[in-house]
Structure formats: C-alpha cells, structure tokens
Structure 1
Amino acid sequence: MIASDVAVQFIVTSAVLAAIPGPDNLFVLMQSALNGSRKGVAVTLGLCTGLLAHTTAVAFGVAAVFQASATAFTALKLVGAAYLLYLAYGAFKAGRGTGDAGAQDSAVEAAPEASAWALFARGIVMNITNPKVAIFFLAFLPQFVKTDAGPVPLQVAQLGALFIATTLVVFSGIAMASGKLSVWLRRSPRAIARMNTVAGCVFVGLAAKLATAQR
C-alpha cells in the first residue's frame, strides 16, 4: 500500500501537472466552450478512461516498448496526429457553415451537435493515441513506488488511480468554467463560427506538436 505522505505528495504534484496548459486540458477547454460544461465533462471522462490504459501499460511494462522502439512510438503518434487533423477539419467545416451572416440562424439550428458519448469516445481516442502520455506515466509513476511497500504493479495501479481522480477533478473544473462561455456563444452564431475556427487552429497546432514529438 502507498503511504499517506507519499499519496499526498503525489496528488499535489498531479494536480499541478494537470493544471499546466497542455493538449488534454486545452481540448477540454475548447469542447466545453463550444458544447457546454456537460459535454466538457464527457470529454474529461473519456480522457481519464484513456489513462486507465496507460496505467495498465505501465503496470505490466508494455509502455517500455514505446520508449525502446522508435517505430512503435512514431506509428502511434502519427495515428494521433491524423485524428487531431480530422477533428480540425470538422471544426473548420463547422466554422464555415456558421459564418454566413445571412443564414446564421438556420445554420446553427442545422449544425449537428456532438453527443456526450461521441465526445467521451473522442477523449479516449485522443488520450490513447498519444504515446507521450504512456512515456510520461512510465517516467512519473515509478518515482513514487517504494520497493518495500508491496507489489510494484499494485502500487502503480494505485498511483494511476490517484492521478486519474486528480485529473478528473481539475479537468472538470476547467470544463465548468469554460462551459459558461458556451452560454454566450450560443447567443451569437458569428461567435460560434469564430470559435470553431479557433478550435480548428488549436487542433492543427496539437497535431503538429504531436507529430514532431520526440521520445
């Protein structure tokens, strides 16, 4: 079992890391602003579900493959970058669809809104296809493992659960805060168009960052 002082130190560190601007919390922020806080929380739940896979990978040593194999790392990051570009295309398309001032109302009404389940799945895919997360877990979690505190896989699983819980709280806070922006956006179709364009640019930037990431 993990000692209480180690758990507290780990939770504080995890909260700071979760709050630092990065691909995941930016993703939550943009989706919450466009779709509301409830949808932002759905994205958060998806991202945290993806962390379960990374925790399992570290606990059983699978993540070491991505650290050792340049081919595996490159393949996974390119898949992730392609998915982000797909999201960027959808955002740019939505931005163009709501950009015509003469047809704004009908465009907004006709624009399909992603369901909570779709955004949940989107969060899972985005998180799992980011090999940097697996390597981060591989480097971060073992720092809090004590060889005399029980089986290492069990400790890693406990640390992963604490990290996921902390991330869920921090990202949900981001979703709730940025979700308030969604109320204002829904009153302004032109603002929605611009926000979709911004979202597209963010996705392109995240894709470029992931595609050029080094181990």
Structure 2
Amino acid sequence: MSIEFLLTSLIVVAAPGTGVLYTLAAGLSRGARASVVAAFGCTLGIVPHMAAAITGLAAILHTSALAFQALKILGVLYLLYMAWNTLREQGTLKVEADTAPRSAWRMIVSGVLVNILNPKLSIFFFAFLPQFVSAGEPDAFMRMAELSGVFMALTFIVFVGYGVCAASVRAHIISRPRVLSWMRRTFAAAFVALGAKLALAER
C-alpha cells in the first residue's frame, strides 16, 4: 500500500461533502452513537460505486448521457428533500433529548442514499483506483478490491471522527434554541448548495 494512495484517499475523504455533512448533522442531533451509524451508512453507500469502478460499469455513466442525467436528477432531488426535512425539524437535524437512535435502519438507508445517488463518485473511482494499480499487476481485480477496502475504512474512521466531534458540542447546541435554529438553516442551505453543485456537474 503506497503512502501516495493513503494520503490522496485521506484528502478526498476529509474534504467536505454530502457524507461529511450528514454525519456531522447526525452527531449534533442525536449524539455520538448516531454519528457512528450515519458514518456506517455513508461508507456502505460507497460500495456500489467501488464495484462499478472495479467491474468497469462506471464507464456506462461516463458514456451514457441518459444514465448519468437520471442518476444525477435523483441525487439532486434527494438532497433537496433532506434540506426540506431539516427545515421542518423532521430530518437530519431533528434534535431530541434522548440520544438513542430513533431508527438505525433509517439512518443507514439515508446515509447510503446520500452517496449512492451521486454519479460523480462512480466516475471518480473509475479514474482514481487504476492510478494505483500497475500495468503488470498479476491480479488487478484483487488489488483494486484491496484499495477499495482501505478507502472505505478511511472513510468510516474519518466520518466517525467528524461525528463524534460534533456530538461533543451537542449539549451546548440543544440548550440554545437560537443557535439550533441557525444551524438548521445552515445545514439546509448546505444541502441545497450541494444539490446545486451536483445539478451543474458534467460527465
């Protein structure tokens, strides 16, 4: 495992995006345990993109305008849905005194959808993974699977770190309604901004 791959992966994972935003919101709204569940869901959402990159299916998104646009539209709509729910106090930033996850399954599904409905991820991994596999690699498939596993582990660890840090200031947030209202609007705006960025994305 090259240090270049680890450093590049860490930079990509730590960069603010939908997964980071979702995990932060989970930590702020329901505590550290919920942030771990959210991070797990976001990590699972990477699996289809990794599989597509390894098997070459990501090339379909790269060459088919219809497939890319369809997945992109679904992703934009889902991000707007999350923004709307956040503003209505029913979504990601619904803060409750009880930190027990309302539904771990629902949080995991939401985390998966956050990543799976982003066609740019498939294309990114399609271009990213082969750079770290030599042309003469005897078993390129297994090598790419190994790299994918390391990338997912880094994703989970970093996202949990984000979520736990957010959970550590949770008590200060829920005791200040004005701050919570400001944060709710900020997160909703961030989801909208990410949706707009995805809407403008080109293959």
TM-score for the superposition, normalised by structure 1: 0.84
In structure 1, which of residues 169, 180, 190 is the aligned counterpart of residue 178 of structure 2? 190
Q: Quote the residue 2:15 is aligned against.
A: 20
Task: Give 1:114 deviation, angstroms.
Answer: 4.7
- Structure 2: how far apart are the matches of 1:164 and 1:15? 10
1:119-145 residue CA offsets vs partner (Å, 9 max, x unmatched):
211110111100011111001001001
Q: Quote the residue 1:41 is aligned against.
A: 36
1:20-43 residue CA offsets vs partner (Å, 9 max, x unmatched):
222321232233222222212211
- Structure 1: how far apart are the matches of 2:102 and 2:58? 32
1:55-82 residue CA offsets vs partner (Å, 9 max, x unmatched):
1111111111001111111110110110
Give the alignment's Cα RMSD to 1 decimal: 2.2
Q: Quote the residue 2:60 is aligned against.
A: 65
Task: Give 1:196 deviation, angstroms.
Answer: 1.8
In structure 2, which of residues 149, 162, 165 is the aligned counterpart of residue 161 of structure 1? 149
- Structure 1: how far apart are the matches of 2:67 and 2:102? 31
**Does structure 1 retain, via aligned residues, the 8 Å contact 2:79–2:191?**
yes
- Structure 1: how far apart are the matches of 2:167 and 2:191? 19
Report the more deviating stretch, 24-33 or 201-210.
24-33
Q: Quote the residue 1:208 is aligned against.
A: 196
- Structure 1: how far apart are the matches of 2:26 and 2:121? 20
- Structure 1: how far apart are the matches of 2:114 and 2:88? 20
Q: Percent identity?
A: 36
In structure 1, which of residues 49, 54, 70 is the aligned counterpart of residue 49 of structure 2? 54
The AA in structure 2 aligned to 1:143 is Q
- Could you say what secondary structure the match of 2:138 adopts? coil
The AA in structure 2 aligned to 1:38 is R
**Does structure 2 retain, via aligned residues, the 8 Å contact 1:28–1:175?**
yes
- Structure 2: how far apart are the matches of 1:42 and 1:130? 20
In structure 2, which of residues 163, 166, 171 is the aligned counterpart of residue 178 of structure 1? 166
Task: Give 1:191 deviation, angstroms.
Answer: 2.8
- Structure 2: state its 5+ residue gaps: none
Q: How many residues align?
A: 198
TM-score for the superposition, normalised by structure 2: 0.89
**Does structure 1 retain, via aligned residues, the 8 Å contact 2:32–2:167?**
yes
**Does structure 2 retain, via aligned residues, the 8 Å contact 1:81–1:211?**
yes
1:86-97 aligned at under 5 Å gives the runs 86-94=81-89
The AA in structure 2 aligned to 1:25 is V
1:146 aligns with 2:134: yes
- Structure 1: how far apart are the matches of 2:110 and 2:138? 36
Greater gyration radius: 1
